[in-house]
Amino acid sequence: MATVRLSFSPAPVHVRTARLVGVAVARRAGVAEELLDEVRLAIGEACTRAVALHNQYGLADLVTVEMSDSDAYTVRVIDHAPIEASVGLTKLPPDELADESLTEDALTTGVGFALLAGFVDDLQVRPVDDGPGTEVRMVWPVQRR
């Protein structure tokens, strides 16, 4: 069951709000202080990806972020873009990163996945159960008070 659910229109300005809420709930859930920067970055990356996909496909649907602290701190970022996403695209090698032919958007996408994969030990990217879309699911341990 979600502790907090946030839905926002796919505009870049709202990604910061999602980060702030995600970190506030993480702190409240008991995620270690030293992990909060990583939580902030990972939620931001997942939301940035969702916003970019909605804009790319002209979707006005809301992006949803669900935060739950039942056993661990679980964050699900859900988009509705009609793509088959996976976490397969990870680290781009340095010579490719600096290559002239790589567009800024492609680089940002690759780097975004590298950050997600690098900062989140427990990460899953999978299709949503109903309709088109992807769920990025991230889990962090909590210290019980």
Partner 1 sequence: MELSLATRTVDEHTVLEVGGEVDVYTAPRLRERLVELVDSGVRSVVVDLGGVEFLDSTGLGVLVGAMKRLRVANGRFSLVCSKEALLKIFRITALDQVFPIFPTIEAATRGSDDSALS
**d(C-alpha 50, C-alpha 57), whole Å:** 11
Starting at the edge strand that comes first in sequence, how are the strands of the sheet with 63-68 ordered? 4-8, 63-68, 73-78, 134-140, 122-127
Region 3-32 residues binding partner 1, contact defined as CB under 8 A: 12-13, 15-16, 19
Region 60-119 residues binding partner 1, contact defined as CB under 8 A: 91-94, 97-98, 100, 104-105, 107-109, 111-112, 114-115, 118-119
**d(C-alpha 19, C-alpha 47), whole Å:** 9
Q: Rule CB under 8 A: is residue 45 a binding residue for partner 1?
A: yes
Task: Tell the residue number behind the tokens 């270690």, with chain if given.
Answer: 32
Q: H or E segment at 94? A: helix 94-97
Q: Rule CB under 8 A: is residue 37 a binding residue for partner 1?
A: yes
Position 85: which residue type?
A
Minimum distance between the CB of residue 26 and partner 1, rounded to whole angstroms?
15
| Chain residues that interact with partner 1, rule: CB under 8 A | 12-13, 15-16, 19, 37, 40-41, 44-45, 48, 51-52, 91-94, 97-98, 100, 104-105, 107-109, 111-112, 114-115, 118-119
